[in-house]
Structure 1
Amino acid sequence: FIHGDLHGGNLMAVEDGTLAVFDAGLTTALRPDMAQPFGYFLQALCAGTVDRVVDKLVEFCDQGPRNAADTAGLRSDIDKLMGQFVSADGLRAPGGAPINMGELVGAILAIVQRRHMQLRGDVAVTIMTMAISESLIRSLDPDFDLVKEALPYFVRYRSWRPQHTDLTSSA
């Protein structure tokens, strides 16, 4: 599930090492048919594969680019953005630091809004929650590397097609 109002005031560390979540009245979840495409979207973000990011964004839209020129413009915007946040070989930011996924997805949402695209609600809330969660974690641990920590889960819990298992591939 996705918490609609996630912030430090709605979380508490319990003595047994678990995390308690409060105020869960505003929640949503990805529709089951969107779980695998969303996993591929996250994988594409981590690897910096622009074409796959764009394809998934278009797939996630109730109202997407109107024509090929709009799609090409979206691809150009995402390409420039990915160059700022993800190194050419993927998995790290330029300069070797961890990718700031929260800022990256925030900038992607700004592009989507500027281009008058309408993301499905479940996808938009999931993306926003991901950004907020990483920001909260980084406030506690500035060196936290979301990509490094998430990679084992990609491999373990996703049923990747063979052509999608190489996170550094541009295919």
Structure 2
Amino acid sequence: MGRVTNPSDNESEDHRLIKKKENMVDSSISSITKYIQDVAKGRGRSSLEALMLEGLKIIHIGKGILRCKLRITDRVSGEDGVWQAGAITSVMDMIGAAVVFTAGDGLHVSLDLNTSFYSTAKIQEEVEVEGRVVATKASLKGAVVEIRREGNGEVIATGRIWMSQLSLKVKDEVTQLSKL
């Protein structure tokens, strides 16, 4: 005869799984908050991140959302004093990765980044950067990052990013060589 299960046992197991997932997300939020704060102070693992996010201040962080302020420095601007498009795109990629991390499921890598530029920002201007996770499909997550001028809210740039969960699985044997 089969084992008789109590429906409340399944509910408690579901409750435990939900709690475990919530704790993982809380852990993700606290670890990414510390990481961003360290990078903004020049103590990150990458000098590129430190350069792009220098002085970044987190305003709000939660599951699937990150809002912060950033003052444009001369280190990410051209000779004309305008924030470089490549630097803007790098900030979008980094904030996109951070906001996806807050949603749980570990590290993700960028698959596609589409950026639209509407205005410029100059040295010493302060901008607001907001990232939101807007889609999840299997191991993929989609995020939108908007950069606005502080004060009047004018949109400087927007980006849409798709990220895939990072997998470090390596095949022991390769049966077919690449044709590239």
Greater RCO (CA < 8 Å, at least 6 residues apart): 1
Q: Which has the higher strand share?
A: 2
Asked if TM exceeds 0.5, the reply is no
Q: Normalising by the residue count of structure 1, what TM-score does the alignment of the two structures yield? A: 0.29
